[in-house]
Amino acid sequence: MASLPPISTKLAHYPSLQGQRVFITGGGTGIGAAMVEAFAQQGAQVAFVDFAETESLALVDKIAAAGHVKPWFCQCDVRDVPALQKAVADATTALGDFSTLINNVARDDRHTLESVTPEYWEERMAVNQRPAFFAIQAIVPGMKRLGGGSIINFGSTGWQTKGSTYPCYAIAKSAVNGLTRGLAGSLGQDRIRVNTISPGWVMTERQIKMWLNEEGEKDIQRNQCLPDKLQPSDVARMALFLASDDGAMCTAQEFKVDAGWN
């Protein structure tokens, strides 16, 4: 393949994100961290939860040192629903109502059909499915007070391309479109938009360390339309658009950021 010039970095600035309050689950590393940073760069006040304390505090320091609004962080295991709801309540008390919620947290651990016990099944749903519903339940009253909001649920293209190494994760992720479409109608009456972002294979620290190998590199070249590897910041830019006033009439949709794989 002929070598291409670098990808353009002339990116959008959204005036409507200035001062917006954004709540993100799993914001300490990976795509979540890219979103925490991207929203802070737009002048938004971000609050995030994660169970990885060291990485999260380092991210908060990095953003504050760059001169952006310091993100609010609370260590929280989202499998504990009351703890997640308390984090939302504490963040609301500290900062005010949130106009954007990003349900990002997930863990794509590998498993086989044969290995799954009822306990493992429950644990997979407790991290990959349940937190999004209860975070929405906790955040929506504040969005109603604000007169609208944007909820962004993270799906995946993995199950859509028949990724077969994580059936429970695939089940949980396929339900994200149901969550989005099941709430968009009723919440839309309050101008609360609900959308899914489904990433392709994104080169987070975890993906590179755990799963990217020579075969994976070949898969990317074979399946993506575009030659470049997806970065967390590529996905964050879709979230910025959906949270901004520019996305005002987008709801009940799934937006794929997968370089054309699916």
Ligand X SMILES: NC(=O)c1ccc[n+]([C@@H]2O[C@H](COP(=O)([O-])OP(=O)(O)OC[C@H]3O[C@@H](n4cnc5c(N)ncnc54)[C@H](O)[C@@H]3O)[C@@H](O)[C@H]2O)c1
| Residues carrying an active site annotation | 169
CB 190 within 8 A of CB 234: no
Q: How far is the CB of 55 from ligand X (least distance, A)?
A: 6
CB 152 within 8 A of CB 139: no
Binder among 57, 77, 97, 226 for ligand X (CB under 6 A): 77
Q: How far is the CB of 82 from ligand X (least distance, A)?
A: 13
Binder among 32, 71, 167, 247 for ligand X (CB under 6 A): 32
Q: Is 109 left (phi over 0), alpha (psi -120 to 50) or beta?
A: beta
Interface mask toward ligand X for 10-29; x: CB under 6 A? ----------------x-xx
Residue 254 binding ligand X, by CB under 6 A: no
Q: How far is the CB of 118 from ligand X (least distance, A)?
A: 19
Q: 229: which DSSP letter?
A: P
Residue 31 binding ligand X, by CB under 6 A: yes
Closest to 108 in 3D by CA, of 38, 146, 155: 155
Residue 202 binding ligand X, by CB under 6 A: yes
Q: Give the span between the Cα atoms of 165 and 113, in whole angstroms.
A: 9
Q: How far is the CB of 142 from ligand X (least distance, A)?
A: 21
End-to-end C-alpha distance for the chain, whole angstroms: 22
Q: Quick one: tokens of 86?
A: 């308390």
Q: Which is nearer to ligand X, 16 or 161 (CB)?
A: 161
Residue 257 binding ligand X, by CB under 6 A: no
Q: How far is the CB of 75 from ligand X (least distance, A)?
A: 8
Binder among 99, 204, 244, 251 for ligand X (CB under 6 A): 204
Closest to 142 in 3D by CA, of 180, 190, 184: 190
Binder among 16, 43, 62, 79 for ligand X (CB under 6 A): 79
| Count of Cβ atoms closer than 10 Å to residue 122 Cβ | 12
Q: Give the span between the Cα atoms of 225 and 97, in whole angstroms.
A: 40
Q: 15: which DSSP letter?
A: G
Strands 100-103 and 149-154 turn out to be parallel
Residue 167 binding ligand X, by CB under 6 A: no
Indicate the residue whose CB is closest to ligand X. Answer: 30
Contact residues for ligand X (CB under 6 A)? 26, 28-32, 50-52, 76-79, 104-108, 127, 154, 156, 158, 173, 199, 201-202, 204, 206-207
